[in-house]
């Protein structure tokens, strides 16, 4: 690898992937576009990846967020066959069917839950509806894959944990900023290999573009989406736990509030939190202030500090630098180098389907997934209003 040429980091665009809400009416726009809240601009997978070892049938209930496309794509790559979809909104279903072709539209949720041939249900329903749905899915004898946030209150979290103990089914959460970002996958490989020594701290910056005209009403109501830390912050809490290897963690301090969106007083547009665990510490900042001048929906960055080096991820865009996304910069005792991660495989789909069949936890550790949810729910509950002068 060549050392980083700083001058070479000054010219580029961006590719990305995730907003927070979607009506899914009208024509789908590319997720690599300015809003980041529509279907991906690449075609749907034609079938399973070569690494997929198993085949299962899965259903989808709830199309209220565009993350359902990445979730469905991952399951198809993993060996899943989309058996049925329940979506009361005809426009949502039409957009989904345009991507996935001859999709069976279930007449009710029960039709999917009672189908004994369906082993897994995925959902990107309105956030406060996801945990109750997941519990119904598990009690029907199926595993559940939720969009994030999968849980919007501590009471819901207690109910989910109880249902997992009762049913022995999976309540997985699709933390796509780690599972579906190739640079994040590569960073995990480097950390596991000891490339930067023992991880001491993660710093995660997660700005998003709001595009308010494209958002449904529930997007602006903290009671529906759980608040900014619960929602966006869940991605970052997951990454903190994963890269530090923490199995126990708590919130040191947090703040959240509305500092620049007075027309939506129940909305939160800024938040941050400091966390600590038995594997390291972390700082997380989330916001809805991405300016229209940026070529993609957010300049998401992750910094991983180790005892023998550090890694920086420029996930979706390298501002005024290299084109595209999935950039990784690493510095260690031998110098600094750049790694293009745009071709790194995404293992989550095949691993998760194998977990469903083999009852393993390779794709996602169940306790860690729920601990990430617990962290942001606690941070949200104790958050103070931002002090901005």
**Omega of the bond leading into 280 within 30 degrees of 0 (cis):** no
| Spatial distance between the Cα atoms of 235 and 237, rounded to a whole number of angstroms | 6
Reported confidence tier of residue 33, pLDDT bands at 50, 70, 90: very low
User: Does 34 or 223 have the greater pLDDT score?
Assistant: 223
The DSSP string of 231-270 is HTHHHHHHHHHHHHT-SSEEEEEEEEE-SS-TTSTT---E
Query: In the predicted model, is pLDDT for residue 183 greater than 50?
Result: yes
Query: In the predicted model, is pLDDT for residue 229 greater than 60?
Result: yes
The strand pair at 249-257 and 270-277 is best described as: antiparallel
Q: What is the tens place of the pLDDT at every residue in 262-318?
A: 999 999 999 999 999 999 999 999 999 999 999 999 999 999 999 999 999 999 999
- Residue 42: the pLDDT is 74
Q: What is the tens place of the pLDDT at every residue in 45-104?
A: 989 999 999 999 999 999 999 999 999 999 999 999 999 999 999 999 999 999 999 899
| Spatial distance between the Cα atoms of 17 and 148, rounded to a whole number of angstroms | 14
Q: How far apart are the first and last CA of the chain?
A: 46
Largest CA distance in the chain: 60
Query: In the predicted model, is pLDDT for residue 34 greater than 70?
Result: no
| Spatial distance between the Cα atoms of 132 and 243, rounded to a whole number of angstroms | 30
**What average pLDDT does the chain have?**
90
Mean pLDDT, to the nearest integer, of 155-179? 98
Query: What is the share, in percent, of the chain residues with pLDDT greater than 70?
Result: 89
CB neighbourhood size of 357 (10 A): 16
Q: Is the CB of residue 178 less than 8 Å from the CB of residue 238?
A: yes
- Residue 14: the pLDDT is 28
327-332 sheet: strands from edge to edge: 249-257, 270-277, 280-287, 199-207, 301-306, 309-314, 327-332, 335-340
| Spatial distance between the Cα atoms of 292 and 289, rounded to a whole number of angstroms | 9
| Spatial distance between the Cα atoms of 219 and 290, rounded to a whole number of angstroms | 17
Query: In the predicted model, is pLDDT for residue 216 greater than 50?
Result: yes
Q: What is the tens place of the pLDDT at every residue in 322-343?
A: 999 999 999 999 999 999 999 9
């Amino acid at each position: 690898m060549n050392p980083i040429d700083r001058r070479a980091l000054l010219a580029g665009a961006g590719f990305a992937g995730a907003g927070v809400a979607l009506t899914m009416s009208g024509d789908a726009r590319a997720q690599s576009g300015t809003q980041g809240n529509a279907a991906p601009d690449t075609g749907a997978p034609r079938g399973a990846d070569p690494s997929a070892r198993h085949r299962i049938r899965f259903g989808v209930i709830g199309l209220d967020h565009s993350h359902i496309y990445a979730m469905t794509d991952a399951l198809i790559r993993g060996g899943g066959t989309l058996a049925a979809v329940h979506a009361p909104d005809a426009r949502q279903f039409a957009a989904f069917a345009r991507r996935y072709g001859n999709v069976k539209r279930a007449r009710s949720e029960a039709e999917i839950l009672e189908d004994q041939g369906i082993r897994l249900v995925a959902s990107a329903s309105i956030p406060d509806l996801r945990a109750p749905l997941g519990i119904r899915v598990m009690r029907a004898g199926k595993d559940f894959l939720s969009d994030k946030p999968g849980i919007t209150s501590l009471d819901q979290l207690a109910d989910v944990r109880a249902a997992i103990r009762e049913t022995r089914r999976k309540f997985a959460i699709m933390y796509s900023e780690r599972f579906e970002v190739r640079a994040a996958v590569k960073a995990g490989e480097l950390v596991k290999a000891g490339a930067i020594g023992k991880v001491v701290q993660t710093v995660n910056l997660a700005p998003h573009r709001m595009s308010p005209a494209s958002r449904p009403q529930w997007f602006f109501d903290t009671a529906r989406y759980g608040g900014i830390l619960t929602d966006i912050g869940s991605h970052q809490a997951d990454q903190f736990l994963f890269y530090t290897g923490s199995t126990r963690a708590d919130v040191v301090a947090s703040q959240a509030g509305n500092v620049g969106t007075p027309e939506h007083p129940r909305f939160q547009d800024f938040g941050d939190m400091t966390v600590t665990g038995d594997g390291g510490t972390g700082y997380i900042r989330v916001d809805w202030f991405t300016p229209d001048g940026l070529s993609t929906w957010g300049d998401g960055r992750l910094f991983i500090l180790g005892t023998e080096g550090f890694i920086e991820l420029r996930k979706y865009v390298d501002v005024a630098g290299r084109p595209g996304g999935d950039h990784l910069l690493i510095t260690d005792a031998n110098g600094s180098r750049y790694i293009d991660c745009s071709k790194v495989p995404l293992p989550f789909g095949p691993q998760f389907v194998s977990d469903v069949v083999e009852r393993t936890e390779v794709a996602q550790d169940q306790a860690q997934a729920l601990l990430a949810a617990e962290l942001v729910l606690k941070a949200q509950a104790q958050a103070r209003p931002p002090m901005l002068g």
